[in-house]
Amino acid sequence: MRTRIWSTQSWSKQLSCTSIFIIMTGVLLVTTITSCQVSLAKRPQVSASLRGSSSSVDRQVIAARRAGLKRYKSRRQVLKAIKQGRLKRVRPNHYLELANVSYPYAHPKLHTLLNRLARLYYQHCRTRLVVTSLTRPINEQPRNGSKRSVHPAGIAADLRVPPYVCRKWLRSTLLSWEKQGVIEATREKRPPHFHLVAIPNRLSRTKVAQLKASSPKKLRKKASRRLKKRPKKYTRKLKKSRQTRTSRKAKTYRVKRGDSIWRLSRRWQVSEKAIKRLNSLKSSHIELGQILRVPVQG
């Protein structure tokens, strides 16, 4: 049997090859990691919006898990949580109204958040904020509800869609709070309502007290910015139309239940087109509580 004797030169060659291979793999790993980091940095941040999506549902579920909250499966579990003090009763007051709420209980942090939002809403609209749903167990979820809904955890609330200007205010405030990372909000269509979810780990009493509403001045600034971007011909037309509107004699009227533009035109003996022009309405659709300017003859 011949024995193969390895020389020092062969060993050195083999070691040099392996070292070169290890260095090359290390360089490739470093380059791939840096490229991944750059791609992640270049990704645009998710902007706050009220459109429902799977990512917003994921954030809601993660918030409930981080807070250590469980989803209540039945009425018995909800009553047990109430006795243990994990859910706090939401009572109607001067600022807040409950409409057909089966379980008027919520997580303590959602309770404080709703009271804060209702006070700000009343300051702006002079009407109460209407809550249509709070905590719901899993076996009492509606058919069109999501299986991953956080209503059974007690950190979600449904708000009735308010009419006219109050809707814009509520939408802008929810968007501003969502940008701060305090809530998750979506605008649902069937049935129409605002879905509000409080994130417990990011909320405290001081944080809730510091939350502010988006003032109407900001909305005016946004409108003025849009006007600046428009061409000069368009702005001239707008100014002329505003001058003609202000020069006409008109009185204000708040829309009541059962009103329509046809009935108002008959009541004040004015054409429907005149009411639409004065209020810049594209259609004959008006909402309850909307303030209209009615032209007066003479």
Least confident of 76-80, 124-128, 209-213, 215-219: 215-219
Q: What percent of the chain has pLDDT over 70?
A: 73
Q: Can you give the pLDDT at residue 223?
A: 43
184: β partners: 197
Whether the pLDDT of residue 49 is over 50: the answer is: yes
Report the helix count and the strand count for the chain, using DSSP H and E: 10, 9
Name residues whose C-beta falls within 8 Å of residue 253's C-beta, 6 or more positions apart in sequence.
264, 291, 292, 293, 294
Please report, as a single letter, which amino acid is at residue 149: S
Q: What is the pLDDT of residues 3-45, one digit of tens each?
A: 444 455 554 555 566 666 677 777 677 676 666 554 444 444 4
Split at pLDDT 50, 70, 90, the class of 115 is very high
CA distances from 82 to 61, 152, 241, 286, 290 (A): 21, 13, 59, 43, 40
CATH of 247-295, one of 3.10.350.10, 3.30.390.50, 3.30.1490.70, 3.30.540.10: 3.10.350.10
Contact between 109 and 135 under an 8 Å Cβ cutoff? The reply is no
User: What one-character-per-residue DSSP string does 34-94 give?
Assistant: HHHHHHHHHSPPPPP-SS--HHHHHHHHHHHHHTT-----SHHHHHHHHHHTSSEE----S
Domain ranges of the chain: 54-214, 247-295
3 state SS of 10: helix
Contact between 98 and 92 under an 8 Å Cβ cutoff? The reply is yes
Domain 54-214 has CATH 3.30.70: no
| Mean pLDDT, residues 131-146 taken together | 89
